[in-house]
Amino acid sequence: MAYTNPPALPRELWGCIESHLSNADIKSLRLACKQFNNAVFLRLNRVFLSANPLNIASHDKLRHQINEIIWDEARLYRGPARVIGNGLGSGHELLSDEDEPDNNREWAAEYHPDIREDVIKRHKYKRRDGCPRWFKDACEENLGVLEYRKRRDVDRPDHIARRELVLAQPSLREAWQHYLQLLRQQKDVLADRSDLEAFAFGVKRFPTLKRITITPAAHGNLITPLYPTPMIRAFPKGFNYPIPRGWLYPRDHWAPATAYTWNQYPELRDRYRGFRTAIRVLANEPNSVSELVMTSSSIPTGINCTIFDEPCEEYDHFVTVLKKPGFRRLDIALLVNGERQEDLEACWRSLLNGHLAYSDRYPLLPLQSIVPMEQWSKLRHFELSDFVISQDDCVSFLKTLPNSVRSIGLSLLEFLGDGDWYSMLEEIKRMVSESTLWGDRDAGSRPKITIGVPIVQESPTYGHGVWVEKEVEDFIYDEGGNPFEEPRHLNNVRLGVGVMRDALEPDFEHPYVEWAL
C-alpha cells in the first residue's frame, strides 16, 4: 500500500528520530517532502567564517540559534615558503602561481640566494602532472602523513572510509584547477573584506552569541578536518590539497615559528586578520560575547606574544575585551620564540613587563607570576599545555589553586632541569597523604588531574599523545601504581595505561598499546 502523503507522527516521535540524525541527514530528510521539512529542524548553534565565500552567509530565521562563531584563520597556500628581508623565514609568506606558471618572475629575487634556485624549481609547472612541483609534493606528503597516522592500527570503518576517499581523489591536474578556483575566491574575499564585514554583522545580529573561536587549524589533516566548514564540505570527493595553517607557522616540522616583533614587521600582522578584527569589534561594538577561545590545537604556533611588548592598538582592544562585565572565559595559545637574540628578548619582555605578569626577571617563568590566582577565587578548571615548567614550581603552583577547582589538565609540558612526571606524581601523592596539599578538602572535592604526554616517533605528529586520568587519580588518592615508567623512562606512560588521542582529530581515541604505535 502506497501513501500519497506520509502518515502524521507525534512531535515527540519526530524529536526522537531527529536526535539520531546528523545535520547532513536532516537536510536530506527535509528535502523529501513539505511535511518532513516542517517536522524536523537543523541543529545549528555555530557558524564558520574564513576567506572563502561559502563560509560567509546570513540566515534570518536561524540566527537566533547561533551561540558561537568559529573563524578559520588558515589561508590556502599560493606557493612554497618565502624568505623575507635578511633571510628570516616568515612561516609561509606565499606567492601566487595563478599567472605565468612557467615563468621565473621578478619575485625570485626576493628569496635568499642560498635557496632561490630550489624555490624556482618548485614553482615550475610540470606539464605531465598538470600542476607545479610544490603542489604535487604537498599532496604526496598528505598521503604519507595519512598512512603514518594510521600506523599499525586495525582496519576500522573510519580507515576503510578514508581509503575509499583516497582512491577516489581527482587527478593532480583536476585538483590543481579546482585549487586555483579556491585561490581566486580567497583573493576576492580578502580584497573586498567581506569576511571582516560578516563578523561585525554577525556580532550584532546573533542575539544569543556567547563564544568566539579563532583557530589556525580548521583544516586538520587530509580527509579529517578539525572543523567541517561549508568550504571543506563542498570539496570534490577525495580532494587532495596543501593543508593550510594559520598565523605564523614554522618552515619545517622541527623548528618552531618565530614571534617576530609586532611593531617591527607590520606586513606579518595580517596573518592574525581574524584575531585583530575580532578583538577590535568586541572592544568597540555592543555584544553578548563572554568567551574568547584562541587555541592552536597543539600545532606549534599561537598569538604573537610581542603584542604585549610595546604599546599597540591590539593590546588596548584585548584589555578592553577582558575587562567587559560578564566576560568569563579566555583560552589563548601564545607564540613565544625567536631566531635572533633581540627576538627572544622581545618575547621575554612581553611576559614580564607587567602586561601579562607581575614579576621581575627570572631564569624560569614562574607560573604564579603570570596566573593571578588571587583574583580567580571561583575558578573551576585549570589547564596548562605546551609550556616549559620546573617540577618544584609546578607543585608549588598547584598548592595555590582555590578550593573551587574541580579539574586540572597538564598536557604536552616540557620539564626544565631534573623534573619528570614520575617523580612529580610521587611528590604530589606524598603531599596529599601528609595533608600538605588539598588537606582541607574532603575526598569528593579533590581535583581530578589529567596528564597528557606526546608520542614521540620518527616523524612528528602534532597533537598526538597519550592522556591519563583514572590511573593518575588511583595513584594519587588511592593504592594504584604510578602510571609512568621508571627508572630510565621517567616521562613515558606505561603501555596499557591511558588512551591515545589526537588534538587534530577529536573523534580519535584508542587504547595505548604497543601494536597501535
482 inside domain: yes
> What percent of the chain is predicted at pLDDT more than 70?
78
Lowest-confidence segment of 86-100, 289-303, 352-366 by average pLDDT: 86-100
When pLDDT is averaged across residues 374-400 and rounded to a whole number, the result is: 87
Residue, of 90 and 246, whose pLDDT is higher: 246
Residue 96 Cα distances to 77, 78, 102, angstroms: 8, 5, 12
Digit-coded pLDDT (tens) for 63-114:
778 899 999 999 999 877 544 433 334 444 344 444 334 444 444 454 555 5
Distance (Å, whole) CA 340 – CA 343: 5
pLDDT(176) > 90: yes
Reading the block at residue 306, the C-alpha cell is 610581542
Looking at residue 94, what is its pLDDT? 40
CB burial of residue 455 (10 Å; 0-12, 13-18, 19+) = middle
Looking at residue 85, what is its pLDDT? 39
283-288: list long-range contacts, CB under 8 Å, 24+ apart.
283/316, 283/317, 283/318, 283/320, 283/321, 284/317, 284/320, 285/200, 285/203, 285/204, 286/204, 287/203, 287/204, 287/209, 288/207, 288/208, 288/209, 288/210
Looking at residue 283, what is its pLDDT? 96
Task: Characterize 203-232 residue by residue with b for buried, 16 or more Cβ atoms within 10 angstroms of its Cβ, and e for exposed.
Answer: beebeebbbbbbbbbbbbbbbbbbbebebb
pLDDT(398) > 50: yes
> What percent of the chain is predicted at pLDDT more than 90?
33
Reading the block at residue 199, the C-alpha cell is 563578523
Tell whether pTM > 0.85.
no
pLDDT(254) > 70: no
Mean of the per-residue pLDDT values of the chain: 80
Residue, of 260 and 198, whose pLDDT is higher: 198
When pLDDT is averaged across residues 310-334 and rounded to a whole number, the result is: 91
415 inside domain: yes
436 inside domain: yes
351 inside domain: no
pLDDT(241) > 70: yes
Residue, of 8 and 187, whose pLDDT is higher: 187
Where are the strands (E) in 67-126, listed by range?
Answer: 68-72, 83-84, 88-89, 125-126
Instruction: Name the nearest CA neighbour of 502 among 159, 147, 294, 221.
Output: 221
pLDDT(235) > 60: yes
Residue, of 186 and 255, whose pLDDT is higher: 186
With contact defined as beta carbons under 8 Å apart, do 417 and 463 qualify? no
- Specify which of 106-110, 148-152, 323-327, 343-347 reaches the highest per-range mean pLDDT: 323-327
pLDDT(449) > 90: yes
Looking at residue 358, what is its pLDDT? 37
Looking at residue 3, what is its pLDDT? 54
**Domain residues for 31?**
1-43
Looking at residue 429, what is its pLDDT? 94
Read off the pLDDT band of 463 (50, 70, 90): confident
When pLDDT is averaged across residues 211-236 and rounded to a whole number, the result is: 93
pLDDT(425) > 90: yes
pLDDT(7) > 50: yes
187 inside domain: no
Digit-coded pLDDT (tens) for 26-45:
778 788 887 777 777 777 78
Reading the block at residue 285, the C-alpha cell is 561594538
Tell me the Ramachandran region of residue 91: left when phi exceeds 0, alpha when psi lies from -120 to 50, beta otherwise: left
Distance (Å, whole) CA 501 – CA 438: 29
202 inside domain: no
The structural domain count of the chain equals 2
β-pairing, 68-72 vs 83-84, is unpaired
| DSSP bridge pairs for 46 | 68
Looking at residue 107, what is its pLDDT? 43
pLDDT(209) > 90: yes
Digit-coded pLDDT (tens) for 475-486:
999 999 999 987
DSSP 265: -
92 inside domain: no
pLDDT(121) > 70: no
Read off the pLDDT band of 492 (50, 70, 90): confident
With contact defined as beta carbons under 8 Å apart, do 246 and 216 qualify? yes
β-pairing, 211-215 vs 291-294, is parallel
When pLDDT is averaged across residues 1-17 and rounded to a whole number, the result is: 69
422 inside domain: yes
Residues whose CB is less than 8 angstroms from the CB of residue 253 and which lie 6 or more positions away in sequence, other chains included = 459, 460
